[in-house]
A and B are shown apart, each in its own frame.
Chain A
Amino acid sequence: MQFFGENLSCIRGERLVFSKLNFHVKPGNTLIITGSNGSGKTSLLRLMAGLATPESGYISWGDDPNLEKPENHSERLHYIGHLNALKSTISVLENLKSWSFLHGGNTKKVINAIKSLNLDGLEDIPCGYLSSGQKQRATLARLIASDAPLWLLDEPTNALDPNSVDLLHSLINKHLEKGGMLIIATNTELQVEKYQELKMGNFSANHEILTSDK
């Protein structure tokens, strides 16, 4: 089973963001997407999540082209973008519960997620009162509040302090050990064993995965 895309191109606002892009990820592996601002990291992640459709090319999960049935694809992934999807009027616990239950999670997993992300004592506080780092941790708690084999993370270390970054790394490594896949857009150092790097270049450049298996 692998998650891959071939010959992808993406157009946003009449501008070609990237074209002829290929990627593939296997269970237990990580794909790190790097590149300057505006190089299309977020656009690529949104294509992978099924939130947008590529201009050309296709994305596939094993033999199942996910673009034909986006609902099936949704069950396999957690997407964490720039927006935190936290409602400011309800508590951290309620926010997490609603997303976890929608993805087939349960209360035990939610409690565990809150503990894992050091959010003890904050669970009953409305999200509007949290600092931006705490909000980011509450958002990341969604990753383990329900199970999904594919994680799509867009700059997840934004607003996190060094301790929380370590916490995120340990979550990621646990996920990979269980055979999960990770696709992450980041320009910071990431402590994972097996990874490939996808460098997003300037627009309409010819992309090939620089397979630097380490």
Chain B
Amino acid sequence: MRVSILILQREVRLAFNQLGDNAMIVLFFILAAILFPLGVGPEPKFLADLAPGILWVIALLASLLSFEKLFASDFEDGSLEQLALTSAPLEIVVLAKAAAHWLTTGIPIMILTPLIAVFYQMPLSGFHILLVSMVLGTPTMSLIGTVGAALTLGSKRGNVLISLLVVPLIIPVLIFGTAAIEAAINDYPTTQHLMLLAAFFLIALVFSPIATASALRHALE
């Protein structure tokens, strides 16, 4: 436990020292949100209908951009082997990494989504569910991202490969995240969508550290 907190502190510190990388992801998120109205036209009703889907898609794309960095620099400079040589099992190290990734990219994206929803004039009745679905969905994406990042360690052009590996696993989050917001806007019950999102989070919480840790062990051998 103590070790995982120390790793978390270290990762967050490092993220703040490389603010540029995280700023890029946030900037990408904003840019993508600006480009959609220019492409599909400024009709307010149309944009409001599209808002939940667009928000989730660009949140997914923005986090895909950040996965490559998760383990790559630690792998190159030898920090990963030192992390593997701490008294904590590698699974705990992975959890701390995923938590740090969520704190430094998931949370900024989560803070921005309501603002962008305002620009798209999304109906107010969907806002609370938008936030809840993001709270449940973004950590799931961070956890699944660790699997892709670990599997592609050491390969050139890992980024494209990560996307191919990770996107199919994240699609359920996208579907039910969007569905929850649309249900809230149209006054339908949202519980089942949110329950499913929570279930995906729990599944990812259990299985992705195990999968990631064994992929990392393989990369280190």
- List A residues at the B interface (Cβ < 8 Å): 49-53, 71-72, 74-75, 77, 79, 81-90, 94, 98-99, 101-104
Contacts and interface: CB of A to CB of B under 8 A. Distances in A.
Interface centre among A77, A84, A85 (most CB of B within 10 A): A85
Nearest to B11: A98
B87 interface: yes
Interface stretch (B28-36, B76-84, B120-128, B168-176): B76-84
Contacts of B179: none
A90 B85 contact: no
Question: Can you list the 9 inter-chain pairs with the closest CB atoms, starting with the nearest?
Answer: A83-B78, A85-B78, A89-B17, A85-B82, A74-B85, A98-B10, A85-B79, A52-B221, A75-B87
B86 A74 contact: yes
A77 B85 CA distance: 8
Contacts of A90: 13-14, 17
A94 B79 CA distance: 14
Interface string B11-31: 001100110000000000000
24 contacts: A50-B85, A51-B85, A52-B220, A71-B87, A71-B88, A74-B84, A74-B86, A74-B87, A75-B87, A79-B82, A79-B85, A83-B81, A87-B17, A87-B77, A88-B77, A90-B13, A90-B14, A98-B10, A99-B82, A101-B6, A102-B6, A102-B7, A102-B86, A104-B87
Interface residues of B, number: 24
Contacts of A75: 87
Majority secondary structure of chain B interface residues (helix, strand, loop or mixed): helix
A101 B83 CA distance: 12
B165 interface: no
Majority secondary structure of chain A interface residues (helix, strand, loop or mixed): loop
B12 to A, nearest CB: 11
B3 interface: yes
B14 A89 contact: yes
A83 B88 CA distance: 21
Interface string B202-221: 00000000000000000011
Nearest to B9: A98
Contacts of B87: 71-72, 74-75, 102-104
A101 B7 CA distance: 10
B89 interface: yes
A98 B77 contact: no
B177 to A, nearest CB: 34
A51 B86 CA distance: 11
A9 to B, nearest CB: 15
B139 to A, nearest CB: 24
